[in-house]
A and B are shown apart, each in its own frame.
Chain A
Amino acid sequence: MKFLAANSVGKQTVKLNNAPSVIATASIVGPKEGQGPLGQYFDKVLDDDLYGEKSWEKAEAKFFQEAVEKVIVKGHKDKQEINYLLGGDLLNQLISSDFAARQLGIPFFGLYGACSTMSEAMALGAMLVDGGYADNIVCAVSSHFSTAERQYRFPLELGVQRPLTAHWTVTGAGAALVSNQGEGPYITMVTVGKVVDMGIKDSNDMGSAMAPAAADTIMAHFMDTGLTANDYDLIITGDLGRYGKDITDELVKKAGYDISAKHFDCGVEIFSPSQDPHAGGSGCGCSACVLAAYLIPHMWDGTYNSMLFLATGALLSPTSSQQGESVPGIAHAVSIHRTK
């Protein structure tokens, strides 16, 4: 097959020749995340996840907005200099990001990729900047335990047991400022994932549902680029959780690549097992906060030189799971390097 696009390096991967730079990141999380192992790295930890608002939905929109404002200030930019805001969240019709964008007044693309939205936003944002359609863009996503729980599952006070495979939605927002100028780290390649469905019907087992999608995108990236796990310091997945992470490693191993030593799953790292998150953290905010607070800053200080960031999403809705549909998964990969 022939590829006409000048920048494509394979069926699913494009190379960004101008390598846009991530010049600033910001993260805001809820109290439980603040008590987790990565607590010290976040820019702001809320004392109360209602954040002084009347509803959790309002709180989520508020910290989404705050994360965007913070990242613009940290990047020494002005709101006027931001061409586009790319973002999303988990709520129906993206109300958190819509309402935050209403206050911000930055031209806005609303994206839905479930928990994969951060890498979707960064992939599209980097392509916009690389193609010369924008100088500076902000990628931001948020999630909130209490808003997601009532939409996808049960009322908070209902006395039911959570299955061991269930995830804990992260309360938090993460934002990244991508610019055509800056000293890195640089977004060098983007691999867009396909929707993969292996027929998992249990909406409480998102790790198993997303693992094939993550494995598919990782393998597509390796095949398109000719790289292997050895070319990266870290291969980061969003929220596969304890069980999904192992399944992904094995699926990738079947294709002859071994990523287990480099594999870092944000959902596993954000909570300690003593916080009882079961499989791990999830939600758009999970991968975005860990990327913004821990991973990108560790590229600035030189701890890591290269990483493949791959947020994973389970594309289910309450309607689809009530109607007995299986849970499709998706993952997009963004390749980030410290030098061009």
Chain B
Amino acid sequence: MEYVRAFIVGGTICLIGQVLMDTTKLTAARILVLFVTAGVVMAGLGIYEPIVEWGGAGATVPLTGFGYSLGKGAIEEVEKAGLLGAFTGGIKATAGGIAGAVTFGYIMAVLFNPKTKP
């Protein structure tokens, strides 16, 4: 059942992205920026929490989930460490994904060459 919920929530978030891409002139890069920022804002307003509770990975895997982790991390760290937490919290919470993306990105770039599309 949790797979069905993840499918529905994740699919819907991607569908919103697709509709935005097709009906406006937003490029993929802008969509990514928009979704991350939207995730942070929704974390601040407390509306993303219930979506994560219900949708599981469906809500955390899309980039809005990345924004949500950033925002939630900042809030939690502010509670613990005050002003300093605002600067450390978000990145602390998402450090794994970012370091992974950069490291794997580098490794893949060294190992592989791009191919012309058929």
Q: Determine whether A and B are in direct contact in the complex, meaning some CB atoms lie less than 8 angstroms apart.
A: yes
Binding site for B on A (CB under 8 A): 30, 32, 49, 56, 145-146, 155-158, 160-161, 202
- B23: chain A residues at CB < 8 Å are none
20 A-B pairs within 8 Å (CB atoms) are namely A30-B116, A32-B118, A49-B116, A56-B116, A145-B116, A145-B117, A146-B114, A146-B116, A155-B114, A156-B114, A156-B115, A156-B116, A156-B117, A157-B114, A157-B115, A158-B28, A160-B27, A160-B28, A161-B21, A202-B25
| Interfacial residues of chain B within 85-118, with CB under 8 A of chain A in the complex | 114-118
Inter-chain CA distance A155–B116, complex, in Å, is 10
- B114: chain A residues at CB < 8 Å are 146, 155-157
Q: A161's closest neighbor in chain B, by CB?
A: B21
- B115: chain A residues at CB < 8 Å are 156-157
Chain B interface mostly: loop
Inter-chain CA distance A210–B21, complex, in Å, is 24
Binding site for A on B (CB under 8 A): 21, 25, 27-28, 114-118
- B27: chain A residues at CB < 8 Å are 160
- A49: chain B residues at CB < 8 Å are 116
Inter-chain CA distance A328–B115, complex, in Å, is 31
- A161: chain B residues at CB < 8 Å are 21
Inter-chain CA distance A298–B28, complex, in Å, is 45
Inter-chain CA distance A56–B116, complex, in Å, is 10
- Nearest chain A CB to B23 CB, angstrom units: 12
- Considering the complex of A and B, which 6 residue pairs feature the smallest CB-CB distances, nearest first? A156-B114, A160-B28, A157-B114, A146-B116, A49-B116, A156-B117
- B21: chain A residues at CB < 8 Å are 161
Inter-chain CA distance A287–B99, complex, in Å, is 47
Q: A49's closest neighbor in chain B, by CB?
A: B116
For the complex with contacts A32-B118, A156-B115, A160-B28, 4 further pairs of A-B residues with Cβ separation under 8 Å are: A56-B116, A145-B117, A146-B116, A156-B117
- B117: chain A residues at CB < 8 Å are 145, 156
- A160: chain B residues at CB < 8 Å are 27-28
Q: Which of B28, B114, B116, B117 has the most CB of A within 10 A?
A: B116
Q: B25's closest neighbor in chain A, by CB?
A: A202
Inter-chain CA distance A169–B25, complex, in Å, is 22
Q: B117's closest neighbor in chain A, by CB?
A: A156
Inter-chain CA distance A305–B27, complex, in Å, is 47
- Nearest chain B CB to A300 CB, angstrom units: 33
Q: B108's closest neighbor in chain A, by CB?
A: A157
Inter-chain CA distance A161–B28, complex, in Å, is 9
Q: A48's closest neighbor in chain B, by CB?
A: B116
